[in-house]
Amino acid sequence: MTTIFEQMLKRYERQPFYNKKNVLKEIIQEMVLCGLSRAGFFKDAAFYGGTALRIFYGLERFSEDLDFSLKTTIDSFDLSSYIPILQKEILSFGLNLEITEKVKTKESHIQSAFLKGNTKEHLLLFWGNEDIPAIHPGEVTKIKFEIDTNPPENAGFEQKYRLLPSPYEATLYDAPSLFAGKIHAVLCRSWKSRVKGRDLFDFIFFLSQSTPVNVKHLQARLIQSDFIDAHEVLSLGDVKRFLIQRFETIDYHQAKEDVMPFIRDSQSLDVWSPGFFKTITDQLVSA
């Protein structure tokens, strides 16, 4: 195991009950971010979503995918142009991963790619024979990364830095804009009563950090999703009202099951209920 892997694994030493597969994915994610930075990706794009919160803001849950958005619309943007450079960077860290672009079956503003590699091979690379979980030899670790090429307006951005696996710079949505994206997910990323518990977990995280919400950016996202009409001006009161209505319809048992594999303290979910979420929503403030 190289010194880089040893250094990156040290941060998990105080977390004795972590899932090694989740750690494997997270370290690969950081190597991807470093490679994209070196490829100049962040000149045009910004990082957002749960993994951005996990890596740069200390969110206490693992996250599976890498989500990006262009800062402004670029008609000629082509994600595939970054794949050869990214592949080279990933190999330089000693990872044997295949990177393929997802072929679109219908017109979309989302461009996607997948990283795939043998799970057991990479677990052994990181930990040797040290307590490796029993897995099928052919099991594949897969990480999706995608970029929105039709970015909602009024987002704010900031620069963040990491020292490992090698010092690099990344552009992120700022915290109020990240919060707007998460509220959009709570309201729109669902089917009937089903919702991603991960979105609820992150919603609590933002409130615990006293993060204000970028209401103008949230308005742009909700208009894109046809949740509100294009002529509507969204207020903080509207946001609270929409959330309270949403929290009355959620299947909280299903939401807890969704997030449980990605967190260590499952007891923190015991309080989840319509009353809990409606009460804490009153703490919401605008940027």
CATH of the domain at 104: 3.10.450.620
Task: Lay out the sheet containing 140-148: strands in order across.
Answer: 98-101, 110-118, 140-148, 66-70, 45-48, 168-173, 157-162
* Rg of the chain in Å (alpha carbons): 19
- Overall number of domains in the chain: 2
User: What average pLDDT does range 97-105 have in this prediction?
Assistant: 86
Output the pLDDT for position 237: 98
Q: How confident is the model at residue 17 (pLDDT cuts 50, 70, 90)?
A: low
Q: How far apart are CA 279 and CA 225, in angstroms?
A: 26
Of 138, 173, 208, which residue is a domain's last?
A: 173
- Tell me how far the alpha carbon of residue 254 is from its chain's centroid: 20
Q: How far apart are CA 92 and CA 29, in angstroms?
A: 15
Indicate if 212 and 226 belong to the same structural domain. Answer: yes
Range of the domain at 111: 3-173
Indicate if 161 and 215 belong to the same structural domain. Answer: no
Indicate if 56 and 42 belong to the same structural domain. Answer: yes
- Tell me how far the alpha carbon of residue 123 is from its chain's centroid: 22
Which alpha helices (DSSP H) does 68-196 contain, by range?
A: 83-92, 119-127, 175-188
pLDDT single digits (tens) 234-246 = 999 999 999 999 9
Indicate if 144 and 206 belong to the same structural domain. Answer: no
Of 126, 143, 173, which residue is a domain's last?
A: 173
Output the pLDDT for position 258: 94
Would you tell me the crossing angle of helices 215-224 and 236-247 to the nearest 10 degrees?
60
Of 139, 173, 207, which residue is a domain's last?
A: 173
Indicate if 18 and 137 belong to the same structural domain. Answer: yes
Q: How confident is the model at residue 208 (pLDDT cuts 50, 70, 90)?
A: very high
Indicate if 110 and 134 belong to the same structural domain. Answer: yes
User: What average pLDDT does range 22-37 have in this prediction?
Assistant: 95
Q: Rank 101-115, 123-137, 145-159 by mean pLDDT and report only the highest.
A: 145-159
Output the pLDDT for position 110: 94
User: What average pLDDT does range 165-181 have in this prediction?
Assistant: 97
Indicate if 129 and 246 belong to the same structural domain. Answer: no
Indicate if 164 and 215 belong to the same structural domain. Answer: no
Indicate if 192 and 262 belong to the same structural domain. Answer: yes
Percent of the chain with pLDDT over 70: 97
Output the pLDDT for position 23: 92
Q: How confident is the model at residue 107 (pLDDT cuts 50, 70, 90)?
A: confident
Indicate if 159 and 250 belong to the same structural domain. Answer: no
pTM across the whole model: 0.94
Report whether 201 contacts 186 (CB < 8 A). Answer: no
Mean pLDDT, rounded, of the chain: 93
Indicate if 139 and 234 belong to the same structural domain. Answer: no
Indicate if 111 and 20 belong to the same structural domain. Answer: yes
